[in-house]
Amino acid sequence: MFMFEFVNKILDKNKGKKQYQKILELLLNNRKLEDGVKQELDGIIKSHNLLTADVVGFQKDTLLKLSKLLSEDERISDTEKDDFEKILNYFQLTVADIPSFQGTYNKCRSLYLIEEKNILPTPTVSGLDVVLKKEEIIHWVCPAILKKVKHITKAIGYSGFTGSVTIVRGLRYRSGSLKVSRQTSTVMVDEDTGQFWLTNQRIGYIGTNKNFSLPYNKVLSFKLYKDGI
């Protein structure tokens, strides 16, 4: 009798886990925690005696998928932030529980605030070897790859029919047409890795082999890319 009850409990718990996962798909599709979804999740936990350890893996997996959806456009709005935090609070988790998303979350929120509200972030920075000037404030720090422009030239190409005849051992005669061409292309190659930083007075870079900073009046131009400048 004891073994029968034990097996039934395991089967019932597994059934509850599957139901819990299915309802989490609704949360993922809606990108928010609606009251109906919350009630269903609570009901499944209660009726199948599920513990936090039984569902926390499903919760983190859902949050990871949701984080990728939220960061697709490189921006996280106030509404998206509030909805995401509501889910985190319900799961009793934080952004730090999704390590791969922490940096992306900070970046997307900062870009939204800069673009939509003209609010510059003032992050808490540690380990950055920069001596700030009077009234200078750091607004941005992130990992960076320093690129440089490089011209690559590819040389010889053959065209037409060619043939060769062995004259003596180790010596061959080649006949036919030979076309020599040069093709030059411009590419961006990695030069160094380090940290890019930005303050209210200047921009700078601290890398493995190179360090520099420039006041804004010395910067000739900025070119904005989706993932860099």
pLDDT digits (tens, 9 = 90+) for 1-31: 556 576 777 888 899 999 999 999 999 999 9
Do 20 and 104 have their domain in common? yes
pLDDT at 159: 55
Spatial neighbors of 142 by CB under 8 A, at least 6 apart, are 103, 107, 195, 196
How far is it, in rounded angstroms, from Cα 173 to Cα 2?
A: 91
Residues 105, 106, 107: CA angle, nearest 5 degrees: 90
The pairing of strands 202-207 and 211-215 is: antiparallel
Determine phi and psi for 152, rounding to 5 degrees. Answer: -115, 130
How far is it, in rounded angstroms, from Cα 45 to Cα 61?
A: 18
pLDDT at 41: 95
Percent of the chain with pLDDT over 70: 83
Average pLDDT over the chain reads: 85
Rounded to 10 degrees, the C-alpha dihedral 59/47/23/58 comes to 20
pLDDT at 229: 66
Do 106 and 54 have their domain in common? yes
In a domain, 124, yes or no: no
Do 102 and 199 have their domain in common? no
Residue 177 has pLDDT above 60, yes or no: no
In a domain, 211, yes or no: yes
Find out whether 172 and 164 touch, Cβ atoms under 8 Å.
yes
Who has greater pLDDT, 3 or 200?
Answer: 200
Who has greater pLDDT, 165 or 52?
Answer: 52
Average pLDDT over residues 129-134: 90
DSSP state, 98? Answer: S
Q: Rg of the chain over CA atoms, in angstroms?
A: 30
pLDDT at 180: 60
Give long-range contacts, CB 8 A cutoff, 24+ apart: 73-82: 74/107, 74/108, 74/111, 74/226, 75/108, 75/111, 75/112, 75/115, 75/116, 76/105, 76/108, 76/109, 76/112, 77/112, 77/116, 78/112, 80/31, 81/109
pLDDT at 5: 73
Percent of the chain with pLDDT over 90: 50
pLDDT at 172: 65
Of 128-132, 144-148, 159-163, 186-190, least confident by mean pLDDT is 159-163
pLDDT at 129: 86
Do 142 and 113 have their domain in common? no
Q: How many domains does the chain have?
A: 2
Residue 184 has pLDDT above 60, yes or no: yes
Do 145 and 81 have their domain in common? no
Q: pLDDT tens digits for 65-104?
A: 999 999 999 899 999 999 999 999 999 999 888 888 888 8
Find out whether 212 and 205 touch, Cβ atoms under 8 Å.
yes
Do 113 and 201 have their domain in common? no
In a domain, 224, yes or no: no
Residue 53 has pLDDT above 60, yes or no: yes
How far is it, in rounded angstroms, from Cα 148 to Cα 145?
A: 10
DSSP state, 73? Answer: T
pLDDT at 228: 63
How far is it, in rounded angstroms, from Cα 157 to Cα 172?
A: 20
Do 113 and 142 have their domain in common? no
Spatial neighbors of 86 by CB under 8 A, at least 6 apart, are 32, 33
Do 142 and 101 have their domain in common? no
Find out whether 229 and 215 touch, Cβ atoms under 8 Å.
no
Do 106 and 148 have their domain in common? no
Residues spanned by the domain of 190: 138-152+181-218
Do 80 and 146 have their domain in common? no
Count other Cβ atoms within 10 Å, centred on residue 170: 6
